[in-house]
A and B are shown apart, each in its own frame.
Chain A
Amino acid sequence: MNYIGEDEVIVVRDRKNTINVLVNSCSHRGNTVCRAELGTTNSFLCSYHGWNFNLDGTLLAAPGEEAFYRGELNKSDWGLMRAAKVESYRGFVFATMDANAPALADYLGWVGRLGIDFIASRGEVEFLDGVHKNRIKCNWKIAVDNLYDWYHVKVSHGTAMRVGFVSEEAMAPMSQMVLLGEYGHGIGGPGISEAELAAFDARMANGGDGDAQWFDLFASRRVDPKVRAELGPVGTRSFGHPNIFPNLWVSITQQVCLRIPRGPFETELWWFNYLIKDAPESQRRQAIFAQNHVFGPAGLLEQDDGENWSHSTRGARGPIGRMRPLNLSMGRGRDQVSADPSGQSRIETVVNEHGQRWTYQSWQEWMLADSWQELIASHSQPPTGVV
């Protein structure tokens, strides 16, 4: 079970192996027809009056079709509502309620696709049983804002560094790369220069002799020429956090996190966890360790994030507090978007707020557009030149 906005949806694979995305609401009185978070079923039997729906949402039977409905219930009109479009990219399934939305690959654009390529290029992955879920009294956008935020780490997570849970240099790399894509997608966070990558390659060709760098772990996942071709010359050098707009964070901890709005003042966080199928046992264990200990409500980092996000929402809620424009100025007008023959434009800089500005600007454009048609016409192209 999942959500699209405030609508509960059932995501179910049917006997033909098709993935169906169905609105969890019976066409008779609106009752939910599925109450379990996960599991297997032959059909969805509504618990109220017994309308029974197939796994593809069609209405199979209703009690009393002859006796009470006098044979006049046209079942083909009364299936569960289906998402208007369900498409997948490299195994990640996306759905939309709007039939006029662009095709998934177009919607994702190269930045959104690259976000998923970061995962898929690591080989076949398997998602683990168990999604960490919790509720934070924050607006969902502050959670999205935070994934681009390499400024908060030292202060928010200072204690996790002090006790040796995470290392300071791994957590606050100065060299940052930001990639911005149409419709609000972005990737922001650590990145290395062409020279650094070349130096890394030379060092590896040398049998690894030389000074270890903070990015060795990330770069070592990108040595295969096939992977580099997949990610592109710039993507190969980015180890940042993708956000598939609006609310899917692809984290470097072998997790993806959905930030599901529960009204303006509450957000549900769902952490999905995966392993690389052919990774050695020690790496699998390390990944599981990080998945259970970094984020989530008891995570040694996210405990403090939850506190700050809810108080950022709360602090800016008052009638006076909410009137003051907040400061989003970091790096504005001081950086340059560099083009690349591959089409992978990027900003290479220090810690900045380009990702956040792009997110809020895109959000505003989404909110001002009345339809997909209008948004397609009105949305901004990612910036070029000085940014």
Chain B
Amino acid sequence: MLLTFEAQEFLLNEARLLDARKFTEWLELLTDDIHYWMPIRRTTQAKELELEFTKPGGMAFFDDSKEILTMRVQRLAVGRAWAEDPPSRMRHLITNISVEGGDANELSVHSNFHLYRTRLNSEEDSWIGSREDLLRRVDNRLMLARRHIYLEQTVILSQNMSSFF
């Protein structure tokens, strides 16, 4: 129960940083060996559901190391990252948080998200999905060591995904 509470605190704090555009502080929550991954999803027949997601190591929308995530954040900071300038308005709604396994030092945590974004006058994007995270305790605090993001879209219905999930 305590671990669930801790995981919940971590994820909610993380969402607060992202929504407040405190991306540099967000990076500090990530371990150096983080793997941040969003596979490509496809519509398949019920009997072939094993084809639904692409596999790790292959094609993906995100397949990021800390170095790449840092570049994404730096890009936003130097100005003229057109997809985010003017910046989007973003809100992460994080729900259904549950600790699925692991121990006090490494917990597997499931959560659902709704990331809502608006841009300019009338552009609107809505991304709903689930995340399978690995939270690792480093120097007595939790950090994000792995995030697998499963989006409820096959064709991405947005002109870009310049946000963090």
Contacts and interface: CB of A to CB of B under 8 A. Distances in A.
Contact of B160 (A40, A291, A297): A297
Given A165-B71, A308-B82, A129 B159 contact: no
A352 to B, nearest CB: 24
A258 interface: no
Given A293-B68, A297-B161, A163 B75 contact: yes
B156 to A, nearest CB: 4
B110 to A, nearest CB: 22
A9 to B, nearest CB: 16
Interface string A91-103: 0000000000000
A302 interface: yes
Nearest to A1: B43
A158 interface: yes
Nearest to B83: A303
Given A159-B75, A159-B80, A298-B61, A134 B158 contact: yes
A130 B159 contact: no
A273 B59 contact: yes
Interface in B117-165: 154-162
Interface in A124-160: 128-138, 155-156, 158-160
A209 B44 CA distance: 53
A136 B61 contact: no
A291 B61 CA distance: 9
A160 B156 CA distance: 22
Contact of A302 (B57, B59, B157, B160): B160
Interface residues of B, number: 39
B63 interface: yes
A307 interface: yes
B48 interface: yes
Interface string A276-306: 0000000000001101110011101011101
A39 interface: yes
A39 B43 CA distance: 9
Q: Which of A273, A298, A307 has the most CB of B within 10 A?
A: A298
Nearest to A273: B59
Interface residues of A, dominant DSSP: mixed
A164 B163 CA distance: 20
A135 B75 contact: no
A297 B156 contact: yes
A96 B94 CA distance: 47
Interface in B94-111: none
A217 interface: no
A35 B160 contact: no
A292 B158 contact: no
A158 B80 contact: yes
A134 B157 contact: yes
Interface in B11-42: 38-40, 42
A268 interface: yes
B63 A307 contact: no
Contacts of B59: 128-132, 273, 288, 291-292
Contact of A297 (B48, B63, B81, B159): B159
Given A39-B45, A129-B58, A158-B80, A136 B40 contact: no
B159 A162 contact: no
A40 B45 CA distance: 9
Given A130-B58, A130-B60, A307 B160 contact: yes
Given A162-B75, A303-B83, A136 B43 contact: no
5 contacts: A36-B43, A39-B51, A133-B155, A163-B78, A165-B75
Interface of A: 35-41, 128-138, 155-156, 158-160, 162-165, 268, 273, 288-289, 291-293, 296-298, 300, 302-304, 306-310
Lowest 7 CB-CB distances: which A-B pairs, in order?
A: A130-B59, A306-B159, A134-B156, A130-B54, A303-B83, A303-B160, A159-B75
Given A134-B159, A159-B80, 20 more contacts: A36-B42, A36-B48, A38-B44, A39-B51, A130-B40, A130-B59, A130-B60, A133-B40, A135-B157, A156-B82, A160-B75, A288-B63, A292-B61, A297-B160, A298-B38, A298-B162, A302-B160, A303-B161, A306-B159, A306-B160
